[in-house]
Structure 1
């Protein structure tokens, strides 16, 4: 019988906005989800908003008992930025008490907390100033991160900055699944760039606060498989990887933005506004480990029509429906275990075998 290593982490993952509830109580201010539910409730499944969710705020001790009962030894969740710093500057003592009790309860039940800082829940105080389009978001996030490290670093050894940063970029600025639900490729690239810099600034703050813990980022990485080996399909797959994988993975691990990505963005008038000092921030702040979320493979083919400049990612590549796929009928997603191996080998061969 094969045995997993003794230090193998058996866990599960949630987030503050999906689970905490008490969305505008105990000192917390509104996030984009609170605002959107108030202004466009019809967009939410069965009118379920952020107010109650699974009420972890009220049931965290019972949840920790259940974690222990089912054999978990790790648990990933997130801190609510708008709860910890309701105005972006002032620490909310009720939030500090809650999170310390929550993390201590995990530890008391043999569960290691792995804490993420951002899970798609931009505070409205930041959003009213332009959100992630505003360069001030970098320093604001770094201050929040430093505050969390200082307040909870004695309880938390493993931190992550962002969960799937590409999701809040494309869902908010390309595909209208998140607030502000605009469709603007140029604004999306600016949001992505500031998000990347915020991640790097948070790592810089972490190194200044502690020398003992570890910090990473969580990316949704799916291998791209072209429809064929035709030149056009291979180019589509290459560009898909540039935008969806290497855009965050290369700067996070290697400290560089791919030259090919910069050329592609420049050719299509999509380059974000930058500053000269950004280069050092990106190059010097490398994380300790990476979280990889794998859902389904990305299968692409060459677009039927090419627009220049591109208006959407579909101008670079389009989905390909592989006729031999196995399907999860409940999600509409392809089941392809080989993708897990391909991602692992990619990390081994191209990214220093990062933990």
Structure 2
């Protein structure tokens, strides 16, 4: 059966500056949180490959953009590194700005829209040492960074995004404690999450001011990109299981949806945090008005896996951390064994329906979706081509559910595949490869198409697939 997507449905690639650019010490770029962590503890990174490398897009950007064009992609998303664009005084770094001008001009000349995200976990080291997102002054510094970027590139870049996955840093650094500084401190986690929320809203406000002043492209849009994971529980759930679903959804999904769609935070989550868990969220006078201005033009929806939960065994754990839920292992789950993530394509439909129902005026696109596989050399044929049929199956199955969501009324505009070109991925480095294009680390970062590249090229050309 042929599945047909709307004619104006777009395909593109999702990437980020710190995971692709490399050239970490070139052109006045400052050190980032990741450079700091790499220097402190290189053994924390797979194969001891730290943050310095990316996939050398700094030198391959023209080739990469032409590769994306050859796959019939209409757009790609990357991020502008705070560390490359500004100096320590918060002023424009001319060398960094010049490179971003070249990148943006190349995309525009090739007829590809660049979706510019302004933050992808890459806090400048000197600001992290001042407290990072715990420090309200850093929130203001971020708003300044976004304003300068929009003033510099606003006539060339049409589509802007404040954050990618703003939930990740508070979770990884302070909730789960798996990223440096390895803390488990819910108060820090929730206040970092709150400060990032304020930062997003201030950036939106700067966008609106510049838009009103005529300093942006005609039709410019502002959005946020977040990883959303629909929560599920077991069959015949108890009321405690349902409460676990509600609070998981509230902290990780509804928090962001309500800000970007309605200009507010979910009151039931605030009540739970402040009244049941006795944790103060450090708010300032005027914050409510700032949050009210955080509504966006559209939303980027990253989807990889569902969240399956059930009631926790206790209200607090041994570290005094609130227990929101505990994992529920669905007996019928299918796993990506390399990444440790469940593959559940229907989840992309279910959350699309949630956006439709709870945020009916908010258009969205799938801003990340992809499959990372370790040891892809084991799938290489005699010609050196990765035969990644598993990736074709993964994308096709998700696109089928996206098409169904559109048929059922979801306002889903397009699909960006994460890591269309293999990239460095945080502490996992190059452990899991996502790309349609292989990066040959042993051959000067040469690019080579995998089997999936030919498949997605035809899908993006016709907006249809079998």
What SS does structure 2 have at the residue aligned with 1:12?
strand
- The 1-side partners of 2:7 and 2:287 are apart by 41
Please tell me whether residue 317 in structure 1 is matched to residue 314 in structure 2: no
| Aligned counterparts, 1:8-19, within 5 A | 8-19=9-20
1:307 paired residue number: 316
What SS does structure 1 have at the residue aligned with 2:10?
coil
What SS does structure 1 have at the residue aligned with 2:31?
coil
| Aligned counterparts, 1:9-158, within 5 A | 9-158=10-159
Provide closer, same or farther for how the CA distance between residues 143 and 239 of structure 1 changes in structure 2, counting only shifts above 3 A. same
Bigger shift: residues 301-310 or 341-350: 301-310
C-alpha contact (below 8 Å) 2:74/2:113 kept by paired residues: yes
The CA deviation at 1:16 is: 0.7
2:229 paired residue number: 222
Identify which of 232, 236, 243 aligns with 2:251: 243
- The 1-side partners of 2:355 and 2:8 are apart by 21
The CA deviation at 1:89 is: 1.1
Provide closer, same or farther for how the CA distance between residues 19 and 159 of structure 1 changes in structure 2, counting only shifts above 3 A. same
- The 1-side partners of 2:89 and 2:63 are apart by 31
Provide closer, same or farther for how the CA distance between residues 297 and 308 of structure 1 changes in structure 2, counting only shifts above 3 A. closer
2:161 paired residue number: 160
Please tell me whether residue 334 in structure 1 is matched to residue 342 in structure 2: yes
C-alpha contact (below 8 Å) 2:13/2:68 kept by paired residues: no
C-alpha contact (below 8 Å) 2:204/2:293 kept by paired residues: no
2:272 paired residue number: 264
Provide closer, same or farther for how the CA distance between residues 2 and 302 of structure 1 changes in structure 2, counting only shifts above 3 A. closer
1:186 paired residue number: 187
Q: Which runs of 5+ in 2 are unaligned?
A: 213-217, 364-466
C-alpha contact (below 8 Å) 1:114/1:160 kept by paired residues: yes
What is the number of equivalent residue pairs in this alignment? Answer: 354
TM-score scaled by structure 2?
Answer: 0.73
Provide closer, same or farther for how the CA distance between residues 82 and 324 of structure 1 changes in structure 2, counting only shifts above 3 A. same
Bigger shift: residues 62-71 or 139-148: 62-71
1:348 paired residue number: 356
| Deviation readout 1:82-102 (Å, 9 max, x if unpaired) | 110121512111111100110
The CA deviation at 1:4 is: 3.3
Q: CA RMSD in A?
A: 1.6
- The 2-side partners of 1:253 and 1:88 are apart by 34
The CA deviation at 1:203 is: 0.2
- The 2-side partners of 1:353 and 1:343 are apart by 15
| Deviation readout 1:221-268 (Å, 9 max, x if unpaired) | 111112242111111111111111112221221111111111111121
Q: Which runs of 5+ in 1 are unaligned?
A: none
2:295 paired residue number: 286
The CA deviation at 1:309 is: 11
The CA deviation at 1:310 is: 8.4
The CA deviation at 1:179 is: 2.9
Provide closer, same or farther for how the CA distance between residues 296 and 237 of structure 1 changes in structure 2, counting only shifts above 3 A. same
- The 2-side partners of 1:3 and 1:234 are apart by 36
2:306 paired residue number: 297
The CA deviation at 1:347 is: 0.8
What SS does structure 2 have at the residue aligned with 1:343?
helix
| Deviation readout 1:40-70 (Å, 9 max, x if unpaired) | 1000111111222211111111111111112
